[in-house]
């Protein structure tokens, strides 16, 4: 039996077992489905849908090509991706998973990046959005606004470090393919060339404003339907595993691993839940009263960076629309989770030791965060990141010119 047939057999058996559990626990299945649908409609849809539409419009108008030209001097030396990857990174960090996967596949479809470059890009730009990290996790679940700064630094800082490591991924494949059909932008920082690239991209697109808007909304609705279906599916799956007692076996296994590693075993439930769904796992990580806050925050950092199988399924479904592979993303998520947890433990004492009041760690909002306020804050983060990347790109090019003159 070859690997494909074995995988299909395992999938059929899993689906059959899942169907039996749904028939055995119909009430739990229905309640979990309603909960998943509520999360999608009340949180994910209003938060992600505007980003999907606007990103599609920005691609059609050539704004991504404009930013790509300007950011190329920074993105290529650091991450070995074109400058358009800076736009994906800023949008991904601002709006959270799975926005970066959607944008990377669009760049790949327009042949602005190669296959390996797209896989590098998705690997380190798939992160939680700041509103969820600050409002839901730090303030909502932990009830501690001081936690927001150190958690954000561990999560996003480790993502950037992962991006620097991912530059070495696919080196041999790049050399063998040579990426002959992928345009290689000039490393020169020039607003004139950026405007020219934007104008050419708009002409090549050719769609009217009305047609562009219609297709952007249609594409965003398609993706949001897929995201909603996967959220409901994994919510039901997790509840059925809990109701059947199968999760207890996973809890026991993770409990033993944590004990051997010298970590608090009480975090087993949150880590197992976070492997399936990021929201439930992050909430559970704040619950154990006997575990020191430092270790609970490290567990939350791992869960946010891993993303949960629900996010993995969303990203895999998006990557399937292009030729980007899922396995590099899977490995990167696990590495990102470990790096984020370790980085948080390293920076915990310097940043969280008293006096912490009055510092930038206390600047997180303590009021509840709604989905629509999250949209405006997400756009603010996006604009801030783009501005910083442009400044860094200009400085890199400026330093290169000085070096050549000497």
Going by the DSSP 8-state scheme, the letter that residue 23 receives in this structure is H
The whole model's pTM is what?
A: 0.76
Q: pLDDT tens, position by position, for the chain (406 residues)?
A: 566 777 778 878 888 888 898 888 999 899 988 988 887 887 778 767 887 788 778 778 887 777 777 777 778 888 888 887 887 887 788 777 888 898 899 889 888 888 999 999 999 999 987 777 877 788 888 888 888 889 988 999 999 899 989 988 887 766 665 554 444 444 556 677 778 878 887 888 788 888 888 988 988 898 888 878 877 888 888 888 888 888 888 888 888 988 888 888 989 888 988 888 888 788 889 888 889 999 999 999 999 999 988 889 889 988 887 889 999 999 999 999 999 999 999 999 888 766 544 443 444 444 444 444 444 555 555 566 667 766 776 676 667 667 666 6
How far CA 309 is from CA of 8, 238, 278, 281, in Å, comes to 19, 11, 8, 11
d(Cα 241, Cα 273) in Å, to the nearest integer? 11
d(Cα 129, Cα 289) in Å, to the nearest integer? 27
d(Cα 141, Cα 128) in Å, to the nearest integer? 15
How far CA 162 is from CA of 159, 305, 324, 337, in Å, comes to 5, 11, 18, 10
d(Cα 137, Cα 200) in Å, to the nearest integer? 43
Q: Are 83 and 114 in contact (CB under 8 A)?
A: no
d(Cα 134, Cα 285) in Å, to the nearest integer? 15
Cα 354–Cα 360–Cα 363 angle in degrees, nearest 5: 105
List the chain domain ranges: 32-174+187-405
């Amino acid at each position: 039996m070859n690997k494909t047939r074995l995988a299909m057999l395992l999938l059929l058996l899993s689906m059959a077992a899942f169907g039996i559990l749904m028939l055995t626990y119909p009430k739990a299945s229905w309640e979990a489905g309603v909960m998943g649908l509520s999360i999608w409609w009340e949180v994910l849809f209003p938060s992600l849908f505007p980003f999907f539409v606007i990103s599609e419009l920005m691609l059609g108008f050539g704004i991504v090509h404009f930013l790509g030209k300007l950011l190329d001097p920074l993105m290529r030396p650091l991450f070995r991706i074109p400058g358009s990857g800076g736009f994906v990174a800023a949008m991904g960090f601002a709006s959270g998973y799975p926005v970066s996967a959607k944008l990377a596949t669009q760049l790949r479809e327009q042949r602005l990046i190669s296959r390996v470059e797209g896989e590098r890009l998705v690997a380190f730009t798939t992160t939680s959005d700041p509103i969820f990290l600050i409002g839901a996790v730090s303030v909502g679940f932990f009830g501690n606004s001081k936690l927001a700064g150190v958690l954000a630094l561990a999560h996003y800082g480790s993502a950037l470090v992962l991006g620097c490591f991912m530059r070495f991924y696919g080196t041999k494949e790049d050399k063998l393919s040579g990426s002959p059909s992928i345009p290689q932008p000039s490393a020169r920082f020039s607003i004139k060339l950026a405007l020219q690239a934007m104008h050419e991209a708009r002409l090549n697109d050719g769609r009217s404003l009305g047609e562009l808007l219609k297709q952007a909304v249609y594409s965003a609705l398609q993706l949001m339907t897929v995201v909603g279906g996967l959220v409901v599916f994994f919510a039901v799956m997790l509840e059925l595993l809990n109701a059947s007692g199968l999760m207890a076996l996973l809890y026991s296994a993770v409990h033993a691993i944590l004990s051997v590693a010298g970590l608090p075993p009480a975090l087993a439930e949150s880590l197992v839940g976070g492997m399936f769904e990021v929201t439930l796992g992050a909430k559970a990580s704040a619950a154990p009263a006997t575990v020191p806050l430092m270790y609970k925050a490290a567990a939350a950092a791992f869960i946010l960076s891993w993303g949960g199988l629900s996010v993995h399924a969303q990203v895999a479904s998006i990557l399937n629309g292009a030729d980007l592979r899922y396995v590099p993303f899977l490995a990167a998520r696990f590495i990102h989770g470990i790096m984020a947890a370790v980085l948080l433990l390293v920076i915990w004492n310097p940043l969280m030791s008293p006096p912490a009041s009055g510092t930038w760690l206390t600047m997180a909002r303590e009021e509840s965060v709604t989905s629509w306020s999250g949209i405006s804050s997400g756009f603010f983060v996006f604009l801030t990141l783009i501005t910083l990347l442009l400044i860094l790109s200009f400085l890199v090019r400026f330093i290169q010119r000085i070096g050549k003159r000497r």
